[in-house]
Amino acid sequence: MRRLFVLAGLAAVPLAVLGVFFLLPISGMLAEGLWADGTFDPGAVLEVLARPRVQRVIWFTVWSSVLATACAVLLGVPAAHLLHRRRFRGRAALRALLLVPFVLPTVVVGVAFRELIGEAGPLGFLGFDGSAGAIVAGLVFFNVAVVIRAVGAAWESLDTRPAEAAASLGASPAHVFRTVTLPALRPAIVSAASVVFLFCATAFGVVLTLGGLRYSSVETEIYLLTTNLLDLQAAAALSIVQLLAITALLVVTTRLRSVPDPTLARSVARHPRVSRGDWPGLLATSVVVVLVGLPIAALVTGSLQVGDHWSLENYRALTTEGSRQALLVPVTQALVTSLRTAVDATWMSLSLGLLIAVIVSRRSRTRAERRARGLLDGLFMLPLGVSAVTLGFGFLITLDEPPLDFRDSLLLVPIAQALVALPLVVRTLAPVLGGIDDRQRQAAASLGAGPLRTFVTVDLPVMWKPLLAAAGFAFAVSLGEFGATSFLARDDNPTMPIVIFHLIGHPGAMNYGMALAASVVLAATTAVVMLLVERLRVPSVGAF
């Protein structure tokens, strides 16, 4: 019983945050739909689901997300091996580069992709524009970094000795991977895949831009129903479908993630150099680099051109307010706002995420305790699977009265971004925490260490790298977040994606060039921050 109370105590803060900033707004919007005209009418909601268009939308969302997730995992796992277990020059830079798509505003990526695959683009002959294939490629572009980083973080410190033992007993590399490495990585892979699936299923801009309007997903449909038609009943129906689907997904992944013995021996051995046996990793990494690199290259080239000649003019213009004062603040100032907001979002999601990861990864003694931990685990994944526009409108109608009068709060943007990043943080930390042998903590405790000291000496050394990875994720998510931010942002301090969206949405060659240049600056900033974060060395890790 006491353990359950401790559990409840630890969970209180994250639960309160989630309750106020997620559950309350979402219920508010669902209620608007279910109680249309003041009467409870769930039948009308069910009728919405019978519409052929709605069924087509749901089906498309499911298959495109499954396909994109599968591709991201198939490419991401071998690439994670190369990028996190092999030593070569430029590794850190490459890792940082692959995270860049994560922060690029979708509207810019859409433009960059379409410059390549559109009718007039260099890859236009493929006829890819507006096809489902383009959507899947776009989704993989955005999400493969999640797999690489989450799996890589778990793989990096994986003890190599069991695999070596298996190999010395005559197992082929494939056999070793299947029987030794893969089971050890399974929690991380399943975690990453479930997050990627949720990202894909709720992707918004990619589907719109690359789908050429022939395809709609549940997310784009909810947006249309809510913002354009004000058909809250239908929007509520689709939101309920989203919630049910996430719940089902969580049940399945919890099963898949649980392994008989999650405890792993960890070692931080010096990684070997790249050898011929690494061809799967090399191949996957090359594909990923091409997929990520081409649109980024298109973006950089575009940003360096004014008319038909090369110029840095677009970059110089970033310190101004646009050629016709179309912007209230220079882009450079928006970058500062973005960075400051990202710092807030990062510490918020890291502190909440760490608490949650600790809670869900500790071993349970009773069935009730395990249930409670499982439920909490799932609850914090929900923000990923629910439409940003539903949440945004929910904020406005539920957080408008004291003591919860947050509608105009400057904190709303970082909080919303932190909620989006939270599942990523938890998913990066929890598998590693779960892999720590509880006996180490018991040993520390029996030697007289308090809970904090135990955490610092046992958990933290192993956690350090995944914590950095998680911080990087949260930071990147915040820098690039557009949906919720555009809904909440205040005019006097716009973030970079908002400014870029503003620039690209107006005619004039200068505005277009500045939008591309600003995107490159945002991407470069992210890459630099990622590199710096990775460079932070912790002396005790090597000694552990």
Partner 1 sequence: MRSVRVCVPLVALALAATACSTIGESSGSEEPEDGATPTEVVLVTHESFVLPKKLVKQFEEESGFDLEVRAAGDAGVLTNKLVLTQDNPLGDVAFGVDNTFASRALAEGVFAPYDATLPEGAEQYLLPGDGEDGEARALTPVDNASVCVNVDDTWFAEQDLAAPTSLDDLVDPAYEGLFVTPGAATSSPGMAFLLATIGAYGEDGWQDYWSELMDNDTLLTDGWSDAYQVDFTQGGGKGDRPIVLSYDSSPAFTIADDGTSTTSALLDTCFRQVEYAGVLEGAANPAGAEALVDFLLSPDVQAALPESMYVFPVDASVELPAEWAEFAEQPTEPITVDPEAIAEGRDDWLRDWSDITSR
Q: Considering only CA atoms, which of 331, 289, 288 is closest in space to residue 520?
A: 331
Nearer to partner 1, 261 or 401 (CB): 401
For partner 1, which residue of 60, 128, 177, 487 counts as binding (CB under 8 A)? 487
Residue identified by tokens 């610092």 is: 456
Kindly state whether residue 492 participates in binding partner 1, applying the rule CB under 8 A: yes
Rounded CA separation 259/356 (Å): 20
- The least distance separating partner 1 from the CB of residue 174, rounded to whole angstroms, comes to 39
Amino acid at 79: A
Nearer to partner 1, 7 or 107 (CB): 107
Q: Note whether 391 and 22 are within 8 A (CB).
A: yes
- The least distance separating partner 1 from the CB of residue 467, rounded to whole angstroms, comes to 10
For partner 1, which residue of 41, 263, 347, 369 counts as binding (CB under 8 A)? 347
Nearer to partner 1, 168 or 325 (CB): 325
| Candidates 12-20, 160-168, 192-200, 502-510; binding stretch for partner 1 (CB under 8 A) | 502-510
Q: Note whether 85 and 156 are within 8 A (CB).
A: yes
For partner 1, which residue of 128, 464, 473, 482 counts as binding (CB under 8 A)? 464
Rounded CA separation 61/218 (Å): 6
- The least distance separating partner 1 from the CB of residue 433, rounded to whole angstroms, comes to 16
Q: Note whether 297 and 97 are within 8 A (CB).
A: no
Kindly state whether residue 408 participates in binding partner 1, applying the rule CB under 8 A: yes
Using CB under 8 A as the binding rule, the residues of this chain from 83 to 102 that contact partner 1 are none
Q: Note whether 121 and 114 are within 8 A (CB).
A: yes
Using CB under 8 A as the binding rule, the residues of this chain from 240 to 299 that contact partner 1 are none
Nearer to partner 1, 184 or 304 (CB): 304
Rounded CA separation 463/544 (Å): 12
Residue identified by tokens 């639960």 is: 15
Nearer to partner 1, 164 or 400 (CB): 400
Q: Which uninterrupted H or E stretch holds 122?
A: none
- The least distance separating partner 1 from the CB of residue 477, rounded to whole angstroms, comes to 16
Using CB under 8 A as the binding rule, the residues of this chain from 207 to 226 that contact partner 1 are 208-209, 211-214, 220, 224, 226
Burial 453-486 (b: 16+ CB within 10 A, else e): ebbebbbebbbbbbbbbbbbbbbbbbbbbbbbbb
Bridge partners of 87, per DSSP, are: 273
Rounded CA separation 388/420 (Å): 9
Q: x-or-dash pattern for partner 1, window 7-36, by CB under 8 A?
A: -------------------------x----
Instruction: Report CA-CA distances (Å) from 347 to 51, 172, 245.
Output: 44, 44, 30
3-class DSSP assignment, residue 396: helix
Kindly state whether residue 513 participates in binding partner 1, applying the rule CB under 8 A: yes
Q: How many residues bind partner 1 (CB under 8 A)?
A: 83
Using CB under 8 A as the binding rule, the residues of this chain from 515 to 544 that contact partner 1 are 515-516, 536, 538-540, 543
Nearer to partner 1, 169 or 536 (CB): 536
Rounded CA separation 424/438 (Å): 24
For partner 1, which residue of 391, 498, 518, 529 counts as binding (CB under 8 A)? 498
For partner 1, which residue of 115, 156, 278, 481 counts as binding (CB under 8 A)? 115
In eight-state DSSP terms, residue 94 is: H
Kindly state whether residue 111 participates in binding partner 1, applying the rule CB under 8 A: yes
Rounded CA separation 158/221 (Å): 43
Nearer to partner 1, 57 or 430 (CB): 57
Helix axes 331-361, 2-18, angle to 10 degrees: 160
Q: Considering only CA atoms, which of 220, 207, 219, 217 is closest in space to residue 141?
A: 207
Nearer to partner 1, 152 or 461 (CB): 461
Q: Which uninterrupted H or E stretch holds 309?
A: strand 309-310
- The least distance separating partner 1 from the CB of residue 78, rounded to whole angstroms, comes to 32
For partner 1, which residue of 6, 53, 59, 182 counts as binding (CB under 8 A)? 53
Q: x-or-dash pattern for partner 1, window 317-346, by CB under 8 A?
A: -------xxxxx--------x-xxx-xx-x
Using CB under 8 A as the binding rule, the residues of this chain from 364 to 393 that contact partner 1 are 393
3-class DSSP assignment, residue 40: coil
Nearer to partner 1, 97 or 415 (CB): 415
At 456, give phi and psi (nearest 5°).
-70, -40
